[in-house]
């Protein structure tokens, strides 16, 4: 099911909480070309680092095992950038992804980017991401999203008296413990999957665990979940906008035949 219309992906993730005295840091997010579809932020002297929810550390090309790098962002009041902030961080030596100078690992680790922001800026070890779905238009209308590290508030758009995103998402689905060897972020779909309020019958056993990723460009489902989900979505969507499938997807639709909304096309709602 491929759609080119951008949508908002909002994530609020907290590893730990603690007393704070500094200001959160804000940076813009852009999404790369379709060949990589990686989200980057200009954290290294304006040069891009890939944002990776599953990576446990900051990485950069270098000799040896670790090095010290200078990273930068802007302090923020949750609505606007206030002033540039630079700080030293420890990075692991590794090759950089195409189109970037390194990786800002966001996973639950003391070496991750959020953890090092928290320790150097005296802010909470938490962050929120507002991800644009492609390089053309995002929430601000110019193809960028935003990330805030160190707690909130985080306002999506003016006026500032709107509820902050950090407040709206604070009572969301709790994170489950990471799997051995994977410090990323996972949630359990305790109520299964529903499409437009109708529960999808899944024959397989075991909990439905959802892994969050910023490097895999589309959702991947277990085989016992995929087939009933595709069947139910196809039935709910109807055939008026359906077109020939484009690999690797099985269901594809003509976007010109879909009604637009503020947050993307009007299609069946999927809930977990």
CATH superfamily of 185-271: Acid Proteases (2.40.70.10)
**Cβ–Cβ < 8 Å for 39, 51:** yes
Q: What is the pLDDT of residue 6?
A: 34
The domain limits of the chain are: 10-15+24-167, 185-271
Domains 10-15+24-167 and 185-271 share a fold: yes
| Burial class (CB within 10 angstroms; exposed 0-12, middle 13-18, buried 19+) of 150 | buried
Q: Which residue has the tokens 């299964």?
A: 192
pLDDT of residue 8: 42
Q: Which fold has domain 10-15+24-167?
A: Cathepsin D, subunit A; domain 1 (2.40.70)
What pLDDT, on the 0 to 100 scale, is given for residue 101?
96
pLDDT value for 114: 95
Phi, psi of 209 (to 5 degrees): -105, 130
Residue with tokens 């507002």: 130
At 149 the pLDDT is 93
**CA distance linking residue 34 with residue 59, whole number of Å:** 23
pLDDT by residue for the chain (272 residues), tens only, comes to 333 333 345 566 655 555 567 899 999 999 887 667 899 999 999 999 999 999 999 999 999 999 999 999 999 988 788 999 999 999 999 999 999 999 999 998 999 999 999 999 999 998 888 888 664 443 444 568 889 999 877 776 554 555 565 555 555 556 666 677 778 888 777 778 888 888 888 876 667 787 888 888 777 787 788 888 899 999 999 888 999 998 888 889 998 998 887 767 888 888 87
Residue 133, pLDDT score: 67
């Amino acid at each position: 099911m491929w759609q080119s219309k951008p949508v908002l992906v909002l994530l609020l993730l907290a590893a730990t909480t603690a007393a704070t005295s500094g200001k959160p840091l804000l940076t813009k997010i852009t999404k790369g070309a379709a060949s990589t579809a990686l989200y980057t932020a200009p954290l290294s002297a304006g040069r891009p680092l890939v944002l990776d929810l599953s990576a446990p550390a900051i990485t950069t090309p270098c000799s040896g095992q670790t090095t010290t790098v200078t990273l930068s962002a802007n302090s923020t009041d949750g609505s606007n950038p206030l002033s540039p902030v630079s700080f030293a961080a420890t990075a692991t030596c590794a090759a950089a992804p195409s189109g970037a100078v390194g990786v800002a690992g966001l996973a639950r680790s003391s070496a991750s980017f959020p953890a090092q922001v928290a320790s150097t800026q005296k802010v909470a070890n938490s962050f929120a991401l507002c991800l644009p779905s492609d390089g053309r238009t995002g929430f601000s209308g110019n193809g960028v999203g935003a990330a805030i590290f160190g707690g909130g508030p985080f306002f999506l758009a003016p006026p500032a008296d709107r509820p902050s995103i950090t407040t709206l998402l604070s009572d969301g689905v709790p994170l489950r413990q990471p799997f051995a060897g994977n410090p990323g972020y996972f949630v359990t779909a305790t109520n299964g999957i529903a499409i437009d309020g109708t529960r999808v019958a899944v024959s397989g056993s075991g909990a439905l665990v959802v892994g969050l990723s910023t490097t895999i460009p589309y959702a991947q489902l277990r085989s016992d979940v995929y087939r009933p989900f595709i069947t139910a979505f196809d039935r709910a969507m109807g055939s008026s906008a359906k077109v020939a499938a484009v690999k690797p997807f099985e269901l594809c639709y003509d976007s010109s035949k879909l009604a637009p909304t503020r947050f993307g096309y009007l299609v069946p709602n999927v809930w977990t």
